[in-house]
Structure 1
Amino acid sequence: MDKSWIRMPRTTKEYLVGLNQFLEFAFKNGAIEDRIKCPCPQCCFGKWQTRAVVFDHLICKPFPQNYVIWVMHGETTVLQNSESREATQDTQPPKNPVELLINEAFHGFMRESVDVGPSQVVAEEEILNDMPTSYDKDFFELLKDGREELYEGSKYSKLEFLLKLYHIKCLSGLSDKGMTMILDLLRDAFKFAKIPDSFYEAKKTINKLCLDYVKIDACPNDCMLYWGDDVNEETCKHCHTSRWKLDKKNTNSKVAATGKKKKRPAKILRYFPLKPRLQRLFMCSKMAEHMRWHAEGGNKDGIIRHPRDGEAWKRFDTTHLEFAFDSRNVRLGLASDGFNPFGAMSTNYSIWPVILVPYNLPPWLCMKQPSSILSMIIPGPQMAGNNIDVYLQPLIKELNELWSEGVETFDSSKNEMFRMRAALMWTISDFPGLGILSGWNTYTGFACPSCNFDMEPCRLHHSKKWCFVGHRRFLARNHKFRLMKNHFDGTVEERNPPKKLSGSDILQQVTNIDVTFGRQAKLNDKRKRKRIKNGQSSVGEGLTQQWKKKSIFFNLPYWESNLLHHNLDVMHIEKNVFDNIVYTLLNDKEKSKDNIKARKDLQDMDIRQDLWPDENDDFRLGAFTIPKDKKVTFLTTLKNISMPDGYSSNISRCIHLESKRIFGLKSHDCHIIMEQLLPIAIRNVLPNQVVAVLVEFCSFFRHICLKNLSLMDLEKLQKRIVTTLCHLEMLFPPSFFTVMVHLTVHLVDEVIQGGPVHYRWMYFVERLLGHFKSLIGNKSQAEGCIAEGHKIEEVLTLFSRYFEDIESRINRPKRVNDESNRNKVSEMSSMFPRQGKVVGGFITFPLTHLEKTQAHRYVLLNCASAKPFIDEFRQHIKRSSRGRKPSVTEVEKRINREFADWFPKRIMNQDIADTISDEIKFLAQGPAPYARRFTAYNINGFKFRTLSREQGLETQNSGVFLMSDTSCIASSADRNARQADLPYYGKLEDIIELNYYGKFRVVLFKCKWADTTRDRGFKRDVWNFNCVNFSKLIHTGDREDDDPYIEASQANMVYYVDDETDKEWSVAIHLQPRDVFDMGQVDEEEIFENEPYQQQEFEIFFDLDYGNIQISTEEHMSEHT
């Protein structure tokens, strides 16, 4: 059948005749109930239509150019003649990733979504005449560049070469000047190659793949945007400030008088439209399937691993059933924070990017930089503050459209069009940012947004700040703490926990608030707001209004019914709590919460007389203050800690022993110290009562930051944090309880509602802000540099998903790359597949008899294929005991000593020799006399280094942990050993690779093992820390019966913190590898989570009636010293 009519103009007779022939064929061979799949670009084979509708569609829109074999309408794909085979080859989807990228990137944006095969003649003029859009022109120009060879015979096309070169520029941070020089050199060296004439021309080509952004002029006082009905206004309607910058140099010049010079806006909002960016996620075949993961992937066993497992997500689905019906509808989170683009310079400047996070994606993609969507850049120099709603208007408008109407989107994973909708779940920000986004005043006695107005503000007269005590109200009604006055604030607690407010409750509070946005209105104090019951409040002596505005997010029709609106940021809460604790323990003059003002506040409250100052302002130190003689012990413990490579910064640089101070810690440093190191450092320097409470507080943060949490554990954790805060109130002064300390009582509820904290905290936002700062080349145009740089990076992110043969942000090697370079021998071995990766070089050395015996024995006894023979040998021992039943201990000793010699003889017996595999034979033969030695090895997500390799390094990567099934005896007289799982802690001494004569290789770790089988080498202290003594060793390797080796694949990493009080002992801390997600699959390997410390039993350290609480010491301090 002649199909040349497909490429003819639709007004010709040939096209009409051919179209009718197609319809006859399709309705004869591919119709169901008188309907066929319409091939027009709008239906895209996704809708069944009648003959009349299909005819109309294909008259108004072109027939797909590459649809020559009508497989969707009954034509067989296997054709007999050569012409047909050639046509089939021509119409296959493009194998070239460049063409696949172009087709998918433009699918849906062009008014006629036409896929063009790699070898077809394109009727470009016809389509361009029908659809005169910039997208169409860019599409064909890029397609031409994607097919044009860089030079004759080159494996690169002109476009692929340019994309890869530009990708290298961005990934390595090469400047525009450097890129220009490289292009000039390439063009001069390879004159026959089609290299762009300039860097400007290269950028023009790249920009054709970009999704552009919109510039919207704004009032310099943040009063309004010049868009919509106000797009042509020249001055602000509120403050009457000019829209344009005043040209001070040319105010009196002829240029200014004639007005010929182009006006420059005083302030510009750069807005990145959301719809095309969400569409591109589905048009990209590499991402479309991931966008349905939340509904179709992973384990739904009740464990909270993802926001989809939280109550807020589930409530949203049940409230909006139509939205939840299609799993492709997008759930978003909005994050924002300000940063100074000039770094440490004295210039005061604040830029606020707004970032959107698509939560449809799986955990390993969701919070990564390439998956985030930059929505807008709110310009400086002053931060918008309460006026941020002015700048959010375009986003809210687009979100409303995406909710009510949606947008037609092509799903490349299902090859169909669908109407995509989107909804905003919540916002992510630090605590001041929460106030800006929500309108709640976070600087008053009602600062806690969760408690709302259901709290009693407590103003400390001398400290001149608000304190947030009264956590007894969260206890059970019959709890004994409620009646204790003297240990708390001097009152009996009768209140219930604050009521959890719904979105409707909040909306009722803010409905009548009237706000005029803009800094000028604030300066002139012209804002007038109606006061409503509970809607605003006078706090203290001032007239500060609690609700500053009705948040613009309430313009979203579903926002009121959302369960969680604005997230509390665990990152900054933990940092502020850490500062409160550590600087108070160290009695830091500037940052301690315990000072003369705090003591006078105690006196005003008439509580804790032991802590009152005397007439000379002298006072006794609190029990929570580290004594002077023990401060060095505390700080030395922290300073001497060596962390694993890449685990944290070098904390020791922030510890100053001479001045006994800590300074310069970043948020992540505080995260590591708070959750792992602080409990270890304080256990020997403070009273047990204080240590127990602080260890429990640190354990709370460690637990709340886990990736996987069960609802039952969270309910217990909520009770624990309430009890912990009440004990803190007994020990610390009220000035210690800032709003950040109080907010911890609400964190468990937010995890239950929103899922694990790492989807809702600010760490990933801070990393993004740091990246945006790196895009700024011209300091005078910071916002423009970020916008242009990010626009290009969006293209390169898309490009990275199609080209897996080069390093990119998508496939950049992990910091610990443990993917082995498998050779043919390793791939052939089923018993010992190659695992892990060598770091650095190796040396070949001869194995001593002792080394070979110990290493080979361990390989034999831990090989699953050898287990049947081990069991047979065990029975052989029992049978050959001549009527005497040997003990379990005797049997195991004989297996260790004799099995390696018995095994090769057994497999050579004629009865089984023919059934034994070659691998078993090579295993029985033993390793070659020469082995390889390494000093570093990556495996199981960890980088292991030997003790010798670590000499002179600041990091510690030699700690090894193994849980082994071991034979145990009660005493030396016990003849019957029992099997039990015992923990083994060691330090890596050597890494060797045994070579079984080329059949397979086995990597072994030789360790210095602490004697964990006895109390002399291992113990759990009163705080349940694992303490190890490396002066008491086991399996040193000196005796033939010793087992100093383990297989590398069995090793997990720990690091050790030396005990400064008992020098022989160290505390072992377990680690979890990066980017490992326990999705609850049965066949997954065990995931070692950073388990929280065991719950502290306060009754052990406090009297049953809490009558004897040590709140002070005999040491005194004067405010004047």
Structure 2
Amino acid sequence: MGIATNGFNPFGNMSLSYSMWPVVLVPYNLPPWKCMKDPYFMMSLLILGPKAPGRDIDVYLRQLIEELKELWVDGVHTYDIARGERFRLHAAVIWSINDFPTLGNLSGWRTKGYKVCIVCNENTSSQLLRSKICYMGHRRFLSPDHRWRRSKQFDGKREIRSLSKLYSGDEIHEQQSHVNDVHFWKNILSVDRGRKRKHSPGASNWNTGKSKDTDTARLDLADMNIRKELHLQPHGDRYLKPQACYTLTLNERRQFCQFLKSVKFLDGYARIRPFLHQDVCAALVELSCFFQQLCARTLSVNGLNRLEQDIVLILCKLEMVFPPIFFDIMVQLAVHLLLEAKLGGPVGYQWMYPIERFLGKLKKYVRNKARLEGSIAEGYLMNTLHVDKCNDTTKELYFLSCGPDFRVKFYNNCIVNGVCFHNNDQSHYRVTQNCGVMVPVEHDGDPIDFYGELSGVLELNYVNGFRVMLFKCNWFDTDAKKKRIQKDYHLTCINVGKLWYENDPFILAIQA
């Protein structure tokens, strides 16, 4: 099986900082058309928000890791329904599925700094620019006699380095043996808050959409003494920025956007070609073809060996066109995708797309924004029990977990438990008042009565004709400490001048 995790914002509003982390197990002992489908994903853990666990994710994963060790070493007795016999089942996690920032949390490898590439390890090719670190130097993956190694138009130097070696498991284990100060608990004590784990000598790098064609990027070219035609040109007390071959004029951008609106067939290359320089267009098209072949359903070793040579040439062509600031670590990682394909097979079993769709499904389980993780856990379990046709779930409960129709009906009155309720608007035009609502509840064993007035009646419709009636109420502040509620003989007097729980106005109609 594989283990996958990523953080997501269940509110759907990215301006609100909230991150919860489901941990999903993907079983691969299934047909290829089933193993990456969400009905077969197993959400084994749900790490609470609102903050991401970061490097402390090992604290949350500890129990899961212990169970996985038990499955690997001892196994569990399992019944084979096809053969009608019991056997001992063993399981192994062969890889993790995650984006690159999450890789730093799961593996303990730092994803920032000079030694970012977990494959190149100590031999990561990096260079400090004026504003950030770039990762160029793709020529070292070329053959020693390639003519581009002697050229200075890439970074102003000749490339004499040999191909970076591939570290073995024993060498990586030796690096990790130097990691110390590892504690499997969160730093929750006041003396430890905000304290970062120290980096040990000899531990290597282990630990447990904007435009990039800026003025600084042009100054980087001048520092490296390459592409003099793109350097900033002094013009009086100002500087002029020459247009690069990869940029479009305002008129070309308008024509390109107009072209995008009309794209309906597969002649895109022929129509986009006039907008781009020949070198830019060739490199981008070759890069697109590379990913198209890499993501094919069937891969061959010979084809991967050929792509391994092609991607180096493609990245070198990009180095001759785009500024150094363009080359972050995500560009360099394309070189190592072929090694992962050789080890793991077709990339469809290892990429994040099915996991991201699964996270989108979990987000839809949120019914109570005050109890986000509880909503997701209950919705996931209810859906699982329904698929397994378990007796612990009912049709009504499953219909509720699927969520209501977004088309909500509103009413001014409702008869519940033999009582006719009117909303507060209708009470203004009547001699009698029938909008008062009281809900008795218990908190820590103590009875508490909530008082309010009905402002509206909502009808939520679910699948198969199932429906739920909700009351939307204005709740009066009846805090006994503030003396906003008093018992006067047999009457209950409430100060209606102040409201509370304005963000939680709904109750079930049968609760009133």
TM-score of the two chains, using structure 2 as the length reference = 0.72
1:626 aligned partner = 248
Corresponding position: 1:527 with 2:197: yes
- Counterpart CA distance in 2 for 1:700 and 1:679 is 16
For residue 404 of structure 1, report the CA deviation from its aligned partner: 1.1
Alignment partner of 2:186 out of 511, 518, 522: 518
- Counterpart CA distance in 2 for 1:391 and 1:680 is 52
Q: Trace 1:121-200 onto structure 2 (pairs within 5 A).
A: none
| Residue correspondences, number | 384
Corresponding position: 1:598 with 2:217: yes
Corresponding position: 1:472 with 2:129: no
SS at match of 1:768: helix
Corresponding position: 1:548 with 2:173: no
Alignment partner of 1:408 out of 55, 77, 81: 77
- Counterpart CA distance in 2 for 1:726 and 1:529 is 34
For residue 504 of structure 1, report the CA deviation from its aligned partner: 2.0
2:333 aligned partner = 743
Corresponding position: 1:791 with 2:412: no
Alignment partner of 1:609 out of 213, 228, 251: 228
For residue 679 of structure 1, report the CA deviation from its aligned partner: 4.2
Corresponding position: 1:504 with 2:174: no
- Counterpart CA distance in 1 for 2:222 and 2:108 is 36
SS at match of 2:371: helix
- Counterpart CA distance in 2 for 1:499 and 1:726 is 20
SS at match of 1:440: coil
Change (3 A) 1:602 1:421: same
The question of whether the paired residues in 2 share the 8 Å contact of 1:596 and 1:617 is answered with no
- Counterpart CA distance in 1 for 2:160 and 2:317 is 18
Amino acid at match of 1:607: I
The question of whether the paired residues in 1 share the 8 Å contact of 2:21 and 2:47 is answered with yes
Q: Trace 1:473-488 onto structure 2 (pairs within 5 A).
A: 473-485=140-152, 487-488=153-154
1:705 aligned partner = 295
- Percent of aligned positions that are identical: 44
The question of whether the paired residues in 1 share the 8 Å contact of 2:7 and 2:22 is answered with yes
**Residues 152-174 of structure 1: CA deviation (Å, up to 9, x unaligned):** xxxxxxxxxxxxxxxxxxxxxxx
Amino acid at match of 2:247: T
- Counterpart CA distance in 1 for 2:198 and 2:134 is 30
- Counterpart CA distance in 1 for 2:50 and 2:250 is 46
Corresponding position: 1:722 with 2:341: no
Alignment partner of 1:349 out of 15, 18, 21: 18
- Counterpart CA distance in 1 for 2:267 and 2:19 is 35
For residue 500 of structure 1, report the CA deviation from its aligned partner: 1.3
- Counterpart CA distance in 2 for 1:799 and 1:627 is 61
Corresponding position: 1:335 with 2:1: no
1:773 aligned partner = 363
Structure 1 unaligned residues grouped into runs of 5+: 1-331, 537-545, 550-578, 580-590, 644-675, 801-807, 809-1121
The question of whether the paired residues in 2 share the 8 Å contact of 1:634 and 1:681 is answered with no
**Residues 234-277 of structure 1: CA deviation (Å, up to 9, x unaligned):** xxxxxxxxxxxxxxxxxxxxxxxxxxxxxxxxxxxxxxxxxxxx
Q: Trace 1:809-820 onto structure 2 (pairs within 5 A).
A: none
Alignment partner of 2:259 out of 596, 620, 637: 637
The question of whether the paired residues in 2 share the 8 Å contact of 1:454 and 1:498 is answered with yes
The question of whether the paired residues in 1 share the 8 Å contact of 2:125 and 2:136 is answered with no
2:99 aligned partner = 430
The question of whether the paired residues in 1 share the 8 Å contact of 2:47 and 2:60 is answered with yes
The question of whether the paired residues in 2 share the 8 Å contact of 1:354 and 1:375 is answered with yes
- Counterpart CA distance in 1 for 2:383 and 2:343 is 34
Change (3 A) 1:624 1:710: same
**Residues 114-145 of structure 1: CA deviation (Å, up to 9, x unaligned):** xxxxxxxxxxxxxxxxxxxxxxxxxxxxxxxx
- Counterpart CA distance in 1 for 2:258 and 2:295 is 27
- Counterpart CA distance in 2 for 1:528 and 1:739 is 24
For residue 440 of structure 1, report the CA deviation from its aligned partner: 1.0
- Counterpart CA distance in 1 for 2:33 and 2:196 is 50
**Residues 486-511 of structure 1: CA deviation (Å, up to 9, x unaligned):** x2101111112221122222221111
RMSD: 2.0
Corresponding position: 1:420 with 2:89: yes
- Counterpart CA distance in 2 for 1:621 and 1:548 is 43
Q: Trace 1:490-501 onto structure 2 (pairs within 5 A).
A: 490-501=156-167
For residue 621 of structure 1, report the CA deviation from its aligned partner: 1.0
The question of whether the paired residues in 1 share the 8 Å contact of 2:246 and 2:321 is answered with yes
The question of whether the paired residues in 1 share the 8 Å contact of 2:156 and 2:226 is answered with yes
The question of whether the paired residues in 2 share the 8 Å contact of 1:460 and 1:735 is answered with yes
Structure 2 unaligned residues grouped into runs of 5+: 391-397, 399-512
Amino acid at match of 2:155: D
For residue 642 of structure 1, report the CA deviation from its aligned partner: 3.7
Amino acid at match of 2:220: D
The question of whether the paired residues in 2 share the 8 Å contact of 1:679 and 1:698 is answered with no
- Counterpart CA distance in 1 for 2:82 and 2:385 is 20
The question of whether the paired residues in 2 share the 8 Å contact of 1:488 and 1:729 is answered with yes
The question of whether the paired residues in 1 share the 8 Å contact of 2:218 and 2:231 is answered with yes
Amino acid at match of 1:502: S
Q: Trace 1:1097-1108 onto structure 2 (pairs within 5 A).
A: none
Larger Rg: 1
Amino acid at match of 1:629: N
For residue 402 of structure 1, report the CA deviation from its aligned partner: 0.8
The question of whether the paired residues in 1 share the 8 Å contact of 2:113 and 2:133 is answered with yes
Amino acid at match of 1:440: W
- Counterpart CA distance in 1 for 2:268 and 2:99 is 24
Change (3 A) 1:526 1:620: closer
**Residues 392-445 of structure 1: CA deviation (Å, up to 9, x unaligned):** 111111111111111111010111100001000010101101111111111212
For residue 788 of structure 1, report the CA deviation from its aligned partner: 1.5
Change (3 A) 1:495 1:373: same
- Counterpart CA distance in 2 for 1:678 and 1:503 is 45
2:111 aligned partner = 442
Of Structure 1 and Structure 2, which has the larger fraction of its residues in strand? 2
For residue 342 of structure 1, report the CA deviation from its aligned partner: 1.3
Change (3 A) 1:764 1:416: same
The question of whether the paired residues in 2 share the 8 Å contact of 1:679 and 1:694 is answered with no
SS at match of 1:683: helix
1:375 aligned partner = 44
For residue 528 of structure 1, report the CA deviation from its aligned partner: 3.8
- Counterpart CA distance in 2 for 1:723 and 1:608 is 19
**Residues 813-853 of structure 1: CA deviation (Å, up to 9, x unaligned):** xxxxxxxxxxxxxxxxxxxxxxxxxxxxxxxxxxxxxxxxx
For residue 484 of structure 1, report the CA deviation from its aligned partner: 0.5
Change (3 A) 1:717 1:345: closer
Alignment partner of 2:348 out of 747, 750, 758: 758
- Counterpart CA distance in 2 for 1:619 and 1:715 is 41
- Counterpart CA distance in 2 for 1:522 and 1:636 is 57
The question of whether the paired residues in 2 share the 8 Å contact of 1:638 and 1:677 is answered with no
- Counterpart CA distance in 2 for 1:681 and 1:502 is 48
For residue 601 of structure 1, report the CA deviation from its aligned partner: 0.9
**Residues 711-735 of structure 1: CA deviation (Å, up to 9, x unaligned):** 1111111111100111111111101
- Counterpart CA distance in 2 for 1:639 and 1:710 is 37
**Residues 856-887 of structure 1: CA deviation (Å, up to 9, x unaligned):** xxxxxxxxxxxxxxxxxxxxxxxxxxxxxxxx
Change (3 A) 1:522 1:444: farther
Change (3 A) 1:740 1:480: same
Change (3 A) 1:677 1:751: farther
SS at match of 1:508: helix
1:3 aligned partner = none
Change (3 A) 1:740 1:368: same
For residue 455 of structure 1, report the CA deviation from its aligned partner: 2.5
**Residues 954-991 of structure 1: CA deviation (Å, up to 9, x unaligned):** xxxxxxxxxxxxxxxxxxxxxxxxxxxxxxxxxxxxxx
Q: Trace 1:445-460 onto structure 2 (pairs within 5 A).
A: 445-460=114-129
- Counterpart CA distance in 2 for 1:394 and 1:765 is 22
